[in-house]
Structure 1
C-alpha cells in the first residue's frame, strides 16, 4: 500500500461512528455476574448482542482506594480504561472498560485476568457486562 493510499484510508469517513465507552445510546447486551456460568453461555443467551459489531466490555471490580492507580497503570498497557464509580470506607468500585469485538474465549480470558489482578491488589472482580449502541434489533 502506497503512502497516498494510507492517507486516503485515514481521511475516508468510517461507515459506522467510532465506538467509545462514552458513545451515546449504549445499553447492556450481555452480562456475566455468576462465576459458575460460562461466558459462552452468557453470549449464547443474549438476544441483543450483535456479534459482528464491536462492544464496550466493562468489568466491575472493587479495589482498595490506594491500589486503584496501580491497577489503572497495569490495565492501560492493554488499552483498558479504569473509572471510579463509587468509594466507601477506602474501597472503590471501578469499571475497567475497553472497546473490542466479543467472543467467548476473550471474555473468559479477560474475566480470569481481572479476577487475578483484583485479587493481587486486595480487591474482587464482580463480573462483566457488554454494551452496544441501541439499534433496530
Structure 2
C-alpha cells in the first residue's frame, strides 16, 4: 500500500488496483517495508546546516517513488523506549542501525534508528527532521542524521 507525505496509507482506486494486476510490475507496486534489506540509500545528510532540498537535489533520490525515511537519534538509554513509543504514533518503527553509522557519533547515549514509509519531498523531509529534533530534545538527546532509502532500479 502506498503512503502519503505524512506516512499515512493511501488506498488505491479499484481501477488502479485492477490495471496494476494486468500489466504492472509487481515489484514496483509492492509495498515497501522499513526493514527491507534490498533498499539502498539514495539521499542522506549528517549535517544539520544543509537544507533537505539541497541534499535531495544533489542525490540519486527518485521523487516519484515511495521511500523509507530513516532518522538516527541518540538519547539516554533509559529514554529510548519512550521516544520510540511517541514516534510510533506517527507510523515510525525502530529499525536496526546499519554498521558504520555509529562511527560518526561521539555523543553520549544510545544510538537508534526510526523509519517509516512515505512519499518524500523536501518540505516534508524538513518537517520530519524538525519533528525528530523535537522528539530527541524532549528525551535529552539529539538527532545525528537522516536518510532516504529506495529499492534499486
Q: How does the TM-score come out when normalised to structure 1? A: 0.81
1:78 to 90, 105, 121: 90
Superposed counterparts of 1:16-27, under 5 Å: 16-27=29-40
Deviations 1:115-134, CA, capped at 9 Å, x for gaps: 11101101110110111011
2:124 to 100, 106, 112: 106
Q: For 1:93 and 1:127, locate their aligned partners in 2 and report how far apart those are by CA, in whole Å.
A: 11
- Contact kept, 8 Å, 1:84 with 1:92, in 2: the verdict is no
Aligned residues: 124
Structure 1: gaps of 5 or more residues: none
Moved over 2 A (4+): 12-15, 83-86
Q: Provide the alpha-carbon RMSD of the alignment.
A: 2.2
Aligned counterpart, 1:32: 45
Q: CA deviation at 1:34?
A: 1.1
Aligned counterpart, 1:94: 112
Structure 2: gaps of 5 or more residues: 1-12, 103-107
Which protein is bigger by CA-based radius of gyration? 1
Aligned counterpart, 1:122: 140
- Contact kept, 8 Å, 2:34 with 2:95, in 1: the verdict is no
Q: CA deviation at 1:63?
A: 1.1
Deviations 1:88-119, CA, capped at 9 Å, x for gaps: xx821110100011100100011011111101
Q: CA deviation at 1:84?
A: 5.4
- Contact kept, 8 Å, 2:35 with 2:95, in 1: the verdict is no
| Distance change >3 Å, CA 84–CA 21, structure 1 → 2 | closer
Q: CA deviation at 1:77?
A: 0.6
Please state whether the residue corresponding to 2:44 is helix, strand or coil: strand
